[in-house]
Structure 1
């Protein structure tokens, strides 16, 4: 019998909040990607630029092996708790990218977090585990 050490998502919630001035003219997006196969993990984009420049092709090739929750962050955004996919418990990895981050930013792996807090500020995003 083959034994594998597979870890699945432990996420209960993902909350996004903004510390930006409500009058700041900033429109951005946060993408939360739930990955269900090792092949997709092996090919996953390593930077924000790779993700956003090849997003359509990546999604098309991933077929049913990913779910994506994209949260649009308009001017004046305060906070939102994101809905999670039904098959969340089957996700091998959960990554976060944000448009409002440096181009070389790596995906943030939140697979082992229980309650995720994404905070947007004038410098980018901060991802932590809520207490």
Structure 2
């Protein structure tokens, strides 16, 4: 009777063990696929940051140029046109910078969410 009971327990436990092994293999494959996406996303964030930093320097330069010509705005109508053009150029560059900053922040937020999801489902606690 004991042998029959033990055989029944093993017979019922075997499909569970096989299902757990298959589930573990799927989880490992999923975790590996998730981790493979991190490096390209980090590289993309680095490129976005570099582009944003370059644009920030351009905005600073255009802002200084606008300041320089704004002083002479009241000297003549030609100076006023030059100041208006410099201001428009500065504002366009600043809008581009803000767009780049928002894109960078969105990419960083997405990457951080991916890291968090990976850590919650794939990282082992030691």
Please state which band the TM-score falls in when normalised by the shorter chain: under 0.3
Rg larger in 1 or in 2?
2
What TM-score, normalized by structure 2, do the two folds share?
0.18
What TM-score, normalized by structure 1, do the two folds share?
0.17
Greater helix proportion: 2
Task: Identify which of structures 1 and 2 has the higher relative contact order when contacts are C-alpha pairs closer than 8 Å and 6+ apart.
Answer: 1
